Amino acid sequence: MFAAAPNGDYKFVKASGSITLAGETLTLDEAMVEQFASLQNGKITIRNNKLQLNRDAASRIISQLGEELGMKFNVRITGPTYVQLRKSGTDWVGATSTPVTVKASTTYEGQKVSGVIKTHFKVRIEGKKLKLTIPITGSALGYNLKGTLKVVCTR
């Protein structure tokens, strides 16, 4: 049995993720993972064999963090806007060849503060199950940042 074209809506089932910065690991709640994972209204939509990336989510998360800290960040996002899927056996797979890069900077008490987050998106659709894995690397406040997010959706 061969998988049909991957186009359609995939409803959110579960998500998990964590980020380690300066030796401290922070487990992310599902809502934060959903924002990073391009979920919109609890689903991921595949059209023309492409998963559209919600790059603005990272900008919103950084802006929210800045508001909580009383700072306003300048945010710049570069990189791909979608993941192209291709047939691999009975599955559909795809990955970004270059990362989505988010650069943020601000001035706090006369000091320039900046950080960069790089995310790759890896997608695998097996039958009706979509698995999205998002490795994260970067740096902030002079520390290295590393993490992984995982999302599962079903058609």
b/e per residue, 2-18, with b = 16+ CB within 10 A? eeeebeeebebeebebe
| Mean pLDDT of all residues in 56-79 | 80
Dump pLDDT digits (tens) for 94-137.
Answer: 999 999 999 999 888 888 888 898 999 999 999 999 999 999 99
Nearest alpha-carbon partner for 115 in 151, 137, 141, 94:
141
pLDDT at 38: 66
Domain ranges (residues) in the chain? 8-154
Q: Hey, what are 68's tokens?
A: 């909580």
∠ CA 111-140-134, nearest 5°, is 155
